[in-house]
Amino acid sequence: MFQRWAELLFLHWTLPVDAIRPLVPHGLEIDTYEGRAYVGLVPFTMSGIRYARAPSIPGTTQFHEVNVRTYVHREGRDPGVWFFSLDAANPLAVLVARRAWGLPYHRARMSLTIEGDRVAYRSDRLWPGPTPAGCDLAYHVEGRPSAAEPGTLEHFLAERYILYADRRGRLRQGRVHHPPYPLQPARVLRLEETLLAAAGLARPPGVEPIAHYAREVRVRVFPLRAEA
């Protein structure tokens, strides 16, 4: 599958590993950077969706999405992403992703507004629960884009090319390919969200998130395969 991801905002907070561990399958280990675990809130817009060996499904080629995630690995290898939730503004895409990929997608009502370097994003979950769950945020894009250097926190948080899913009780792995993100600093102007709490995660009170922005990347998504 081919996709375009645009207007990506990466918001991250540190959480104790023990707070995340019960929410992740035992076949995966929590990945850490300098001993710290991270959870992320990532809103973006997906477009240009087409399939390599099949026609595109009408009504699923473009929509907004926001995910709640953490970072995992398998016995020190294959670092990737574990999604606690993915909310999308397209009911058909939600149904396809839940059934075919085993990912925890939710139907949501979403909006995106761009005014120069200021971006506003809103999401309100409709189904399935838990509800209420959503986010209302605005941010300002700053600086110049550049790829994250390997070994840095920015690289650890953004450059992930494997996703994991639990489909019918069996762990599966999917890979994505894309150029490095053109990351820029972002300054959060407004942030109200209940998506982390809906996922069973307690966001650190009074702590500003680490914020990065990427204008767009072109992505190739490969099929899920069962883990040994």
* Domains (range + CATH), the chain: 2-226 (2.40.400.10)
**Has residue 60 got a pLDDT over 70?**
no
105-139 pLDDT, tens digit each:
999 999 999 999 999 999 999 999 999 999 999 99
d(CA 138, CA 128): 26
d(CA 152, CA 13): 16
Overall residue count recorded for the chain in this entry: 228
d(CA 30, CA 81): 10
213-226 pLDDT, tens digit each:
999 999 999 988 88
d(CA 79, CA 156): 9
Band of the pLDDT at 57, cuts 50, 70, 90?
low
Band of the pLDDT at 52, cuts 50, 70, 90?
confident
**Has residue 9 got a pLDDT over 60?**
yes
Say how many C-beta atoms besides its own lie within 10 A of residue 82's C-beta. Answer: 20
d(CA 172, CA 25): 11
Residue with tokens 């992740």: 24
Say how many C-beta atoms besides its own lie within 10 A of residue 142's C-beta. Answer: 12
pTM given for the model: 0.95
SS3 content of the chain, % helix, strand, coil (to 5): 10, 55, 35
176-193 pLDDT, tens digit each:
999 999 999 999 999 999
d(CA 187, CA 11): 10
pLDDT at 14: 98
Residue with tokens 């059934």: 99
